[in-house]
Structures are given as C-alpha cells and as structure tokens.
Amino acid sequence: MKPPRFWSGGKAGALGSVAQAAFTPLSRIYEWAGARRIARTVPVEVPPFVVCIGNLTLGGTGKTPIAIAALETFNERKITAHSVTRGYGGSLTGPVRVDPDRQTAEDTGDEPRLLARVAPTWISRDRVFGARQAGVAGAKAIVLDDGYQNPRLGKDFSILVVDGEAGWGNGRVFPAGPLREPVAAGLARAQAVIVMMPDGETEPDLRALDLDELEIPVLTAWLEPVSPPPQEKLVAFAGIGRPQKFFDSLTAAGGQVAETRGFSDHHPYSPRELAELRDLADGHGASLVTTEKDWVRIPAEYRTAITAWPVRAAFREPERFKALLLDAMDAAKAEQLEDKTS
C-alpha cells in the first residue's frame, strides 16, 4: 500500500482534507477497538526474555535493522537469542523455523529471511506459540520484529522506533492517518525510543516528536552502508516504507543514480516489472541496485543481474543501546528468581 499524501502531515489539499474528514469516524472505531483489545487481554508470559521492536506508524521506520542489532548484541554476549515474527507477506502461518534454503520469500515474507541470517527465526501468526517453540529450541532471549500492538505475548522490554523525519505524520490514527494507535498510548507502553535519522550528523527534533520530556531513554540511530555502492551508473528501485530514503542514502554514499523507481512496501515483483527495470537500466547503460529486503523477494533467476546494497543500524551511543537490553534482561531474571523464592 502506498500511503496517501495527506498522511504526511503537510498541507493536505482540498481532496486530502475531505478524505481525512471522511475517514475520521473509521479512525475512532479503529482506535477504540485497538485500545479495548489491549486493555482486555491478559498477556501470556514465556520463560525467555522477550524484547519487542515496534513502531506506531504504518510503513517502514527501520525496525528490522534495529531488531538485527538487538540479536547481534545477545550473540556478542553468548546469549542464545531467536527472533519471532508474523512473517508479513508470506504464506506460512507457523510456528515454523525459517530455512532460506528450502523456503522462498513467498513462503516467509522478506524480513524473516534477513533476521534468519543473524539468528534462528520463527514465523508464527500466533506469537505465543512461536515464542514457546523458540523457548523449547533453546532460546534464552526472543526479539520480536513486530507485534507492538499485539497484546497476547508478554513483553519484558519494548522499544519504539520512529522515523525522525516523517515523525507521526499528520498525527491521526488509520485510516485518517498513518498511526496504529495514538502516540501517547503507544509511548506509555515503551521502555525506550529510538529515533531513526538520515545520518549521524542530523540532530532529531525531539520537541516536534513530543519526545523531549519523556522519562524513558531516547536514542538516536541511522542506517549506514555496509559497503560502498557499485561504482557504475545505477538505476535504483525499492519497495519499502519510504523508497526515497534508500535513493537518498545511495546518492549520499557516492552512487551514480541515473533513475529511480519506487514501489509499495513488501511489493511482490512480477517478471514483467523486472523486465521493465532491466530495459530501463539498459537504456541508461546502468546496473540495477536495490535493498536487501527487496532482493530477497526477487525470484532467484533474476537476482544475478541485480545488486543488493546492504545497510545496518548505527547508534550515536552504541554501548548505551547494548546496556539497555542486557540490564533489562538481568532485571527480568532477578524478578523471576524472586517470584520463585517468594
């Protein structure tokens, strides 16, 4: 789905204003139903330490790179960590462990394939079942790459990720805006917030994001390239929450971008579209480049002609991010021990 312009928070225009007003009653129902579900659900606790990486808006904010960074933090400390995800865009309902050699992106969706490179990853529409399977398989920590608004599985530590440029959009709940729930309600359940910026030099406007008076930690992060972009002329395409972010990053890193094509998030590329992209690149005497998330969705027979440009999460205070996770896990262990002995 491509977000409508009036979600962005700028001038909506006449049609945007009409649409926003028309959708407002539906937004109130959506908000009420979500709040009621959260209030009435008793979370199921599981033995592993559960970290949830979530967001409050529809579309990409950079959750998956943050989830990967969390998994890597546990790996560094020799803590067995698994990831559990709904597997958006895939056909598998689970619980099933991701096996990239036997499953395709049509089976799993794109994000689970990236997570599975770092740690054992489980797809489960019912996250409680998935978390239990991960625990049986030896997980001491579980990282959820989604599910912030799903109250069924108990969470020990929740991190909200927000795009520092897009912010909360027009501040309205879906479908009148991009919010999954009101900002204040979402922030009230978080133990930390990560603001994703375009680079390490740009300061986030915490006041504009209503984060300047929060009593929980607010960290700054950004996506940085793992390697330089290809040196030849490029045609870049992406089907992520905000494709322009990828194009801007590619240009900022020195990529010679001749033309770009943006698609909706999790877009399934057809042979016809891939052939058109190939023709477009040939017309420019260029090579095709895309994100890792897009690349894993492309059929294997087309991948050899397309370069994936990988990025990773970088933190202004990397040790603080790690300490937040590890200290929270230690605190949860201590609480479990106290409950057992009391």
The response to whether 60 counts as a known ligand-binding position is: yes
202 assigned to a ligand binding site: no
- Residue 58 annotated as part of some ligand binding site: yes
155 carries a ligand binding annotation: no
Taking a C-beta distance cutoff of 8 angstroms, is the pair 315, 219 a contact?
Answer: yes
Is 251 known as a binding-site position? no
- Is 254 assigned a ligand-binding role in the annotation? no
- Is 62 annotated in some ligand binding site? yes
- Three-state DSSP string of the chain: CCCCHHHHCCCCHHHHHHHHHHHHHHHHHHHHHHHHHHHHCCCECCCCEEEEEECCECCCCCHHHHHHHHHHHHHHCCCCEEEEECCCCCCCCCCEECCCCCCCHHHHCCHHHHHCCCCCEEECCCHHHHHHHHHHCCCCEEEECCCCCCCCECCCEEEEEEECCCCCCCCCECCCCCECCCHHHHHHCCCEEEEEECCCCCCCCCCCCCCCCCCCCEEEEEEEECCCCCCCEEEEEECCCCHHHHHHHHHHCCCEEEEEEECCCCCCCCHHHHHHHHHHHHHHCCEEEECHHHHCCCCHHHHCCEEECCEEEEECCHHHHHHHHHHHHHHHHHHHHHHHHC
**Residue 85 annotated as binding?**
no
Known binding residues for ATP:
57-64
Known binding residues:
57-64
